[in-house]
Chain A
Amino acid sequence: MKKFIITILVICIVGYFGRIDKEILDDLDIVTAVGYDYKGKRKIEATVVSPIINPDKSISNKTISSVGKMSKEALYFLNQKSPNPVVNGKIEVALFSEKLAKTRGVQNYIDYVHRDPSIGTRLILAVVDGNVKKMLGESFKDFDSGTYIQKQIDQNTKNGFIPTNNLHLFLSAYYTEGADPILPIIELRGKKINIKGLAFFKGSKMVDSIPYRSMFAFKSIYENIENAGYTLKTKDKGKTEYVSIQGIRTTKVYRVKNEQTTPEITLRLGIKGFLREYTGDKVNQELIDKSEKIMAKKVEKDAEALIRRFQKKGIDPLAWGEQTRSRTRHWDQKKWDQQYKNLKINVEVDVSIFEIGIVDGSPF
């Protein structure tokens, strides 16, 4: 009997005092994207998107925006404007307007998504050329805008030219002395998202950007490409012809000389791919040899131009500092910072086209 009473008592106490707020999935605004716009010197505008599933199974967006001094303040106002509690657990993308990234830096907003335990580190970050609020408000048929942008960037990372990017990698590059973070730039063109280029950061501020056409060269020296396509221009009998190379995979070998005094870095880049399309009339060994040479030269030129550009700007998105640090005993960051601008960095490219598809010679 005594035991019984105690059990009932315990259940009552715990049942009454142990309650926490219930969160029913249908009664929440589950945020899939968050975006920040520049609104005057001390103000920003935060926008969040949550999907609404309509009775006909199509998905539309629900966006809420609010203006505040800080990221947290703006998000707090969002809660005030929403009939349902706003939750962060499923945020897929965080977007920053280019103006905000250039003038104020993204540090406050990064701190917010980093500190909140409910936001995953797979979160994708991107810089938006144009108005973030407008982009997030756009409707993309089958998906809400947050999921849509995440899917497109993810797809372009796996099969395109966007370097692998998520919150964790951004933070690693941001905190490390020997590297600087990068983010993709996207824009709204017509009713579609367009990948525009890459943004480079010094600390939390965006200081430089490159257009889409330079992204292949960047990605190939930044990481190992697993699948991408590339189009070459060649001359055949005085006419300009195009060669399309697909399924490109790259491998990299770094060599650092004189790391204790004045380092000299050599990067050997191996590119492997297969020929998929040719506008001229004959695909033969001669063409393959020629294409390989042209491509190697082109990538080498582009890559070296990029490297010089970063050195001039004093940014290190390619993590040369990390490459040197990990090969140097008692690495000195101050000395490195001084040396970086005049560092000798060579790129050697070796291209091999190993398949030509299932047609030999010319189709005619």
Chain B
Amino acid sequence: MKVTVKEQFLISPYLAFFIVHSMQIGVGVMGFQRYVATYTEQDSWLTVMMGGAAVHLVIWMMYKMLNKEQGDILSIHETAYGKWIGRLLTILFIIYLIAMGITVLRTFLEVLQVWMFTLMKTWVFTFVYLIAAYHIIAGGFRSVVGVCFLGVVVPFYLNFTFLAPLEFSNVRNLFPILDHSIKDFIVAMKPMTLSYLGFETLLVFYPFFKKPETSQKWFHYGNLFTVVLYFYLMLITLVYYTPDHLRRTIWATISMWKIIRFPFVERFEYIGLATWTIVILPNICLAFWAASRMAKRMFNVTQKKSLIFILVFAMIVSPMFDDRTSIEKLNMMVSQFGFYFNFGYIPLLFFFHYFMSKVRNKA
């Protein structure tokens, strides 16, 4: 079932690069290292690449389905399962998207509360941030993509700051190379792939590309760029921290900034974290945009109304998570769902959809 979008709302295919990269880099990158290094220690750089390869495969599957359907996840579901079951499953996907947006916002706020403003009230920041998000999303998909572009370009300078820890790093930490069993790598793949989540929003915005098929190339490039960035960060983390030290460091990426000292600024984290506000903006905007877009497609409401509903919901829910344990739990739940959705459900759907579209074509 083809979904058509008016010409003036379409975007160029190359923007897929920025969308996928900005969506994957969010709050996970602040501390993904220790979850992976628990299993594969000094070989974790290889896990990063293996995880990236798995994501490439899933992206390829998504494009295969979408190219055939020329639509979004709702049309895939309807082809595969029929109208009612298809809609039910899509509702689950919407809930996941909303939860993803809330998780990113709440986790980032936790970091701010720990590192900078201990006494900052949760709801005030959420309120301000969601007003900004509303303003962007109400401008339509094109303005969301604009934010994605800025979310990649503006904070790019941060990548150079991670060279500072090399002064106190030890290359011997990387040896012996490949000292873990294949089983370790497979176990470590799970926490690794969690850091790549976010690309599944493709299932919603696919029809917004001009000549959607041509965007696949850029989408893969975007993911590749994320892999390179994670690889770079992981390598520096591994030479800077010894495994036992890393295991105790909750936000390894941000903790690396603690070694930086400029004559004009004593604590670099303050600059870095302030910049990070722009890094997570595309995450939140795109997640809520995608959720409201799917709601519009299914329930016959305007996107603005569903958006306001979602934002109010987020506003009420996010202050409810008020300590480390509950935020950690929320993160675990959302990423678990995301993991099984992307790496369990999508391949299943891929085969089922392939089969069903053959059947329906014959009928």
Distance A169 CA – B127 CA, assembled complex (angstroms) = 41
- Are A121 and B245 touching (Cβ within 8 A)? no
CB of A134 to closest CB in B, whole Å: 28
From DSSP, what is the main secondary structure of chain A's interface residues? loop
Number of interface residues of B (CB under 8 A): 34
CB of A95 to closest CB in B, whole Å: 20
Interface 9-mer from B13-21, B50-58, B258-266, B316-324: B258-266
A89 within 8 A of B: yes
- Are B242 and A172 touching (Cβ within 8 A)? yes
B269 nearest CB neighbor, chain A only: A117
Distance A213 CA – B261 CA, assembled complex (angstroms) = 32
CB of B277 to closest CB in A, whole Å: 15
A103 within 8 A of B: no
- Are B175 and A118 touching (Cβ within 8 A)? no
Distance A169 CA – B115 CA, assembled complex (angstroms) = 22
Given A117-B114, A175-B244, A176-B242, also A17-B121 (CB < 8 A): yes
Q: Which residues of A contact B173 (CB under 8 A)?
A: 326
- Are A121 and B255 touching (Cβ within 8 A)? yes
B244 nearest CB neighbor, chain A only: A175
A139 within 8 A of B: no
Q: Digitize B104-120: 1 where CB-to-A-CB distance is under 8 Å, 0 elsewhere.
A: 00000000001101011
Q: Which residues of B contact A119 (CB under 8 A)?
A: 258
- Are A13 and B176 touching (Cβ within 8 A)? no
Q: Which residues of B contact A327 (CB under 8 A)?
A: 175-176
Contact of B245 among A176, A328, A331 (CB under 8 A): A176
- Are B176 and A175 touching (Cβ within 8 A)? no
Contact of B168 among A120, A166, A329, A331 (CB under 8 A): A166
B267 within 8 A of A: yes
Distance A327 CA – B269 CA, assembled complex (angstroms) = 36
Given A14-B124, A90-B266, A326-B176, also A172-B261 (CB < 8 A): no
Distance A122 CA – B173 CA, assembled complex (angstroms) = 20
B358 within 8 A of A: no
Distance A166 CA – B245 CA, assembled complex (angstroms) = 15
- Are B258 and A120 touching (Cβ within 8 A)? yes
Number of interface residues of A (CB under 8 A): 32
A53 within 8 A of B: no
> Which residues B282-319 have CB closer than 8 A to chain A?
none
Distance A17 CA – B122 CA, assembled complex (angstroms) = 11
The interface centre, meaning the residue of A13, A20, A326, A327 with most chain B CB atoms within 10 A of its CB, is A326
A83 within 8 A of B: no
Q: Digitize A78-115: 1 where CB-to-B-CB distance is under 8 Å, 0 elsewhere.
A: 00000000000110000000000000000000000000
- Are A118 and B267 touching (Cβ within 8 A)? yes
B248 within 8 A of A: yes
Distance A119 CA – B172 CA, assembled complex (angstroms) = 27
Q: Which residues of B contact A121 (CB under 8 A)?
A: 255, 258-259
Q: Digitize B230-262: 1 where CB-to-A-CB distance is under 8 Å, 0 elsewhere.
A: 000000000011111100100000010011010
CB of B171 to closest CB in A, whole Å: 9
A322 within 8 A of B: yes
A18 within 8 A of B: yes
Q: Digitize A143-182: 1 where CB-to-B-CB distance is under 8 Å, 0 elsewhere.
A: 0000000000000000000001010110110011100000
> Which residues B121-173 have CB closer than 8 A to chain A?
121, 123-125, 127-128, 131, 168, 170, 172-173
A286 within 8 A of B: no
Q: Digitize A172-195: 1 where CB-to-B-CB distance is under 8 Å, 0 elsewhere.
A: 100111000000000000000000
Given A14-B127, A20-B119, A117-B114, also A329-B176 (CB < 8 A): yes
- Are B179 and A330 touching (Cβ within 8 A)? yes
Which 10 pairs across A and B sit closest by C-beta, in order of nearness? A326-B175, A175-B244, A176-B242, A18-B124, A175-B245, A121-B258, A326-B172, A117-B115, A172-B242, A120-B258
24 A-B pairs whose Cβ atoms sit less than 8 Å apart in the complex = A18-B120, A18-B124, A89-B266, A89-B267, A117-B269, A119-B258, A120-B258, A120-B261, A120-B267, A121-B258, A121-B259, A122-B261, A164-B168, A168-B240, A172-B170, A175-B245, A176-B245, A177-B244, A322-B172, A326-B174, A326-B175, A327-B176, A329-B179, A331-B176
Q: Which residues of B contact A (CB under 8 A)?
A: 114-115, 117, 119-121, 123-125, 127-128, 131, 168, 170, 172-176, 179, 240-245, 248, 255, 258-259, 261, 266-267, 269
| New contact pairs (8) apart from A14-B127, A89-B267, CB-CB < 8 Å | A17-B121, A164-B168, A168-B168, A175-B245, A176-B243, A176-B244, A176-B245, A326-B175
